Amino acid sequence: MPQDLLVRLYDLPSNIPEEQALRAGGLDVRRALPTDKHIVVPYVRDTFLDPWASECDGAFSRQPPCCFIAVHDKDLVGFACYNATCWGFFGPVGVGEGFRRRGIGTVLLRTCLAAMWNEGYAYAVIGWVADEGVPFYQRAVGATVIADSRPGIYRRMVRR
């Protein structure tokens, strides 16, 4: 069952080498603009999950949007959000199947967390992480499991 993780934002690793490598490969990670919403939210719905699209839509309601996107040759290939479901929460994040295992998810994650740090947060919660996803977050940002966080805030979701 998914659980929540905690990240110390004051101990984030640098993103610079990974960002430079992505740029050299023609990929850019940047904050989404409000005008990107009509592309990003349907991409998330079609590529991932309806609830993630709802959270992404919520991230666009913030100013500036709390959504970062990965773009390759003007095509959207990934996204990450924060402050979407709850203040201080990171997620969701997703990278299109053909672009996985290139470091894009790590750069999206660290970019969002750095934005949170710059907005005054000391910690971030990564919500609803499946057991197989925990090692990624531990490696990428030193995340730790929050004890007794199953199912966390997401227990409040309505079901059909």
Q: Which pLDDT score is estimated for 58?
A: 97
pLDDT of residue 53: 98
The amino acid that residue 141 corresponds to is V
Q: What is the mean pLDDT of each run of 10 residues along the chain (160 residues)?
A: 95 94 97 98 97 97 97 97 97 97 97 98 96 97 95 81
- What distance in Å separates the CA atoms of residue 5 and residue 50, rounded to the nearest whole number? 22
Tokens of residue 62, six digits? 């913030």
Provide the pLDDT for residue 99.
97
10 Å CB burial of residue 106 (0-12, 13-18, 19+) is buried
Q: At 135, list the tokens.
A: 């090692």
d(CA 105, CA 99): 9
